[in-house]
A = this chain, B = another copy of it.
Amino acid sequence: MTPYTLYGFKGSGSAAVEAALEWAEQPYRMVRTASWARGSALNKLAAINPLKQIPTLVLPDGTVMSESAAILIHLGLLHPQAGLLPAQAAARARCLRALVYVAANCYSAVSVSDFPQRWTASTDDAAQQDVRHAARAQLHHHWSVFADLFAPHVEQAPDTAPFLTGLGAGAADQPGAVDLLAAVVSKWSGTRAYLKAQRPGFLALLQRIEQHPRVEPVFARHWP
């Protein structure tokens, strides 16, 4: 079988998909490129995904996927034994909500903060910095809301609060798709410094996720 092909880059959102593929025990070929890189690999990525997003994942049958949250949902549904998503429908619904929340409210605000010149018609430097600052404030607020919604007890019990995916009562408490995406997307745009001040228990949970034996090897490659 042709394995998966993952287009990604060190320190990027592809870390979450790499971890998911390893948990699902799926062989994959890694192509290292990014929109800020140059060369033939970037041309190949552009040919299959004009947005040049990473991660982009080519499935064994040739189907091209992008959008980290969608990729994690797909792998979770296809490989239930990996425990990326809960089996029980209501717990799974909560995870779908959390994954799309991160994609729509957090990941998208990181894009505004990273490329403020795309989000104002002004070419003035100060105007672009005003957009960057506001985007970071929006991003940080969205993470506070995320912590309160999806980890309501974490500030009281940061060392023992369950992971975010919530595999349900009776299941071994281990990280899953939501944990992977939250740990990666919170790496950027000052989110963790903000959480240290505003939601220290949630920051501790994110640190427990990235130190988990299933996650640590992937994160060590991306953020050595």
Contact = CB atoms under 8 A, between A and B. Distances in A.
Interface of A: 50-51, 59, 61, 63, 65-67, 69-71, 73-74, 77-78, 89-90, 92-94, 96-97, 99-101, 103-105, 107-109, 112, 118-122, 127, 129-131, 133-135, 137-138, 145, 148-149
A204 B187 CA distance: 42
27 contacts: A50-B145, A63-B90, A65-B93, A65-B94, A65-B97, A67-B96, A67-B97, A67-B100, A67-B104, A70-B93, A73-B96, A74-B96, A77-B92, A78-B89, A100-B103, A103-B103, A105-B108, A119-B138, A120-B130, A120-B131, A120-B134, A121-B129, A121-B133, A121-B137, A122-B127, A122-B130, A131-B131
A131 B104 contact: no
A137 B118 CA distance: 9
Contacts of A61: 90
Oligomeric state, in number of copies?
Answer: 2
Contact of A130 (B100, B103, B121, B137): B121
Contact of A103 (B92, B104, B109): B104
Contacts of A69: 100, 104
A77 B100 CA distance: 16
Given A61-B90, A118-B134, 19 more contacts: A50-B145, A65-B96, A66-B97, A67-B96, A67-B101, A70-B93, A70-B97, A73-B73, A73-B100, A74-B92, A74-B93, A77-B77, A100-B100, A104-B108, A108-B108, A112-B119, A121-B130, A122-B130, A127-B130
